[in-house]
Amino acid sequence: TGLFVWEEALIEGEYVHAYHSGMGRVSSRDKVWEKWQTGNKGFGFNRSHLRAFEVEVDGQLMQGRWVMEGESQVTTPRGGLEHTLILKDSVYPVRIAVKTLLDGTSFMERWLEIENTGDKPFRISRLFPWCGVFFQEADASFSWKSVSRPLTHEVQLARYFNSTWCEEGDFRWIDLPEGTYRHESTAIRRNSPNHYWLRDVTTGACAVINFEYSGGICVDFNRVTRPRPFEYVRARAGMAGSSPLRVVDPGEKVKSPRVHFSLLYGNEDTATNAFFDHVRKSVIPVRDPARTYPLEYQSCSYLVPKFPPLTADFFRQEVEIAATLAAEAIIVDAGWNIPKGKLYTDVFGDWEENELLDGKLNDCFDYARQRGLQAALWVPIEAISLNSKTLKEHPHWCLRDKEKDVEMLDLTQKEVAEYTYDKICHLVEKYSLDIFRIDGSTGEYLCWLRENGESVEDLTWKYYDRLYDIFDRVRLRYPNLILENCWGGGGRIDLGLMRRFDWAQITDNWHPEEQLRTFSGLSLSMPPEQCVLWVGAINMHE
């Protein structure tokens, strides 16, 4: 795709990454076989580093027994080519569909569909849906003279280093040392995209990897420099969490998150623009080019004590200010559902107007529309307070980590997911909303464990499958509704969410100078049109 060549092969029961190029060059079967044979001797590639993916089921790494059952390709609704290769383990009841999307840009997408073909559940205890080797020498051959020669390549790694609230956008380069460099996180609020660059300073080659997942991530890079001349970097993108990551029932298929990857030549701008070409073509929502990006005015109350309560009269005053400032949308943030004397976190999950509005929020939005403003509403729909009326009526709806309540709805339960979808639809239709904005809960870590048969299953993967499905359905039902993403600012701005949302508030740090720093860093991995910058009340400084 483009000038990016990525070759894989099924050799002696192993499905492996065989060759790559950022210059449109292809390899040959003979060279691929020679590399594999060399790896079987004392000098050459570590064969385990050549696997194109890694799946561990019931503590057993699926390897060495793959049989090809077939392949096919279809054209996607957005004009890409989706290729499917079916592999089945010859002993264990595991079938895997290896999915690859080519869209004509310089990037590929890879994901797996894992099927249980047996008659009892199995447990996925480890999963890296994509693995690959970069920067190996094209025609390396061993000689005793080559053993002592110096390193021929200087390799650097870049990623977002600071995932702290209000410190988004901290993208930095470091030298990649020999050995394994791992970035692993199970934070629920991870204030950075899962975006990584590898750069071969010697040749100018740049590998870009983005892991499309909102849950726990594990991305590692293994730089091998011995035995020389077999220098290379093995990279893996996978899921982090407690084992098992998923219990798969007989006949069930589960889909892994997607990995976006490429190898190209050029500087940061070249790589960034190539990535944006890909995400605009195949990932982020398609927008009507006639619809502009509105200048939003945010109205919030009860967020901090000095803010006035939200009444109908106060909201109309806010509308007049917004219209005077030539704003094009007004968003009602925290306060619209909070009774007097309570904090906004006290009533997460109770999405009803506070008594001071006297049931007039819809009238307020109508007034805003008369003044030329679009109507937007803030609803952290996943969050639920332990003191909420909703949870008192449905105590089993709360997400739990074993015996501990987590202040979030348990979307892994079908009835809870349906309630959440129905509540979003109800609010959109009741207030004729133009923009629906989500936010996050008070949780910090993805540590949601629940007994499932003989296992204690990590719920994160299943949770995000349900959350993604909810907003896929919302977009299908309301194609003109704008979906705005937020989790305490940029706490969850991975492609898993951004595939479904039009844009995101990238930080809660509203100080103008800090906004520039944050935006500069994030716009290396997020298309600028997906980044909302707020300047105003919630500043770190005057």
Distance, in Å, from the CA atom of 477 to the CA atom of 524, rounded to the nearest integer, reads: 32
Of the listed ranges 32-41, 200-209, 264-273, the least confidently predicted one is 32-41
Of the listed ranges 377-386, 449-458, 486-495, the least confidently predicted one is 449-458
Distance, in Å, from the CA atom of 260 to the CA atom of 525, rounded to the nearest integer, reads: 12
pLDDT at residue 144 in the model:
47
| Residue 540's pLDDT band (cuts 50, 70, 90) | low
Please state the φ and ψ torsions of residue 151, each to the nearest 5 degrees: -60, 140
Distance, in Å, from the CA atom of 210 to the CA atom of 261, rounded to the nearest integer, reads: 6
Three-class SS of residue 429? helix
Q: How many CB atoms lie within 10 A of CB 533?
A: 15
For residue range 265-284, what is the model confidence (pLDDT) as tens digits? 999 999 999 999 999 999 99
pLDDT at residue 229 in the model:
61
Mean pLDDT across 105-112: 98
Mean pLDDT across 404-423: 95
Mean pLDDT across 145-154: 60
Mean pLDDT across 15-27: 92
Tell me which of 338 and 436 has the higher pLDDT: 436
Q: What secondary structure, in 3-state letters, does 256-285 show?
A: CCEEEEEEEECCHHHHHHHHHHHHHHHCCC
pLDDT at 145 over 90: no
pLDDT at residue 479 in the model:
94
For residue range 228-238, what is the model confidence (pLDDT) as tens digits? 667 889 999 99
pLDDT at residue 442 in the model:
77
pLDDT at residue 56 in the model:
97
**Residue written as token pair 């202040």:** 407
Torsion of the alpha carbons at 464, 466, 471 and 476, rounded to the nearest 10: 140
Distance, in Å, from the CA atom of 275 to the CA atom of 278, rounded to the nearest integer, reads: 5
Provide, rounded to the nearest whole percent, the portion of the chain with pLDDT above 90.
71
pLDDT at residue 490 in the model:
92
The two tokens of residue 88 are 């089945």
pLDDT at 41 over 60: no
The two tokens of residue 11 are 């050799």
pLDDT at 218 over 60: yes
Mean pLDDT across 180-205: 93
| Residue 441's pLDDT band (cuts 50, 70, 90) | confident
Amino acid identity, position 498:
M
pLDDT at residue 227 in the model:
61
Query: What are the b/e assignments for 345-368, b being 16+ CB within 10 Å?
Result: bebbbbbebbebbeebbeebbebb
Report the chain's mean pLDDT, rounded to a whole number: 90
Q: How many CB atoms lie within 10 A of CB 244?
A: 24
pLDDT at 211 over 80: yes
Say which residues have a Cβ less than 8 Å from residue 151's Cβ, sequence separation at least 6: 225, 228, 231
For residue range 304-355, what is the model confidence (pLDDT) as tens digits? 556 778 889 999 999 999 999 999 999 998 889 888 778 788 889 999 998 8
Say which residues have a Cβ less than 8 Å from residue 516's Cβ, sequence separation at least 6: none
The maximal CA–CA distance of the chain, rounded, in angstroms, is: 85
Provide, rounded to the nearest whole percent, the portion of the chain with pLDDT above 70.
93
| Residue 169's pLDDT band (cuts 50, 70, 90) | very high
For the chain, give the number of residues.
542
Highest mean pLDDT among 43-57, 104-118, 386-400: 104-118
Q: What share of the chain is helix, strand, coil (3-state, %, to 5)?
A: 25, 35, 45
Of the listed ranges 81-90, 288-297, 389-398, 520-529, the least confidently predicted one is 288-297
Distance, in Å, from the CA atom of 160 to the CA atom of 523, rounded to the nearest integer, reads: 12
pTM: 0.94
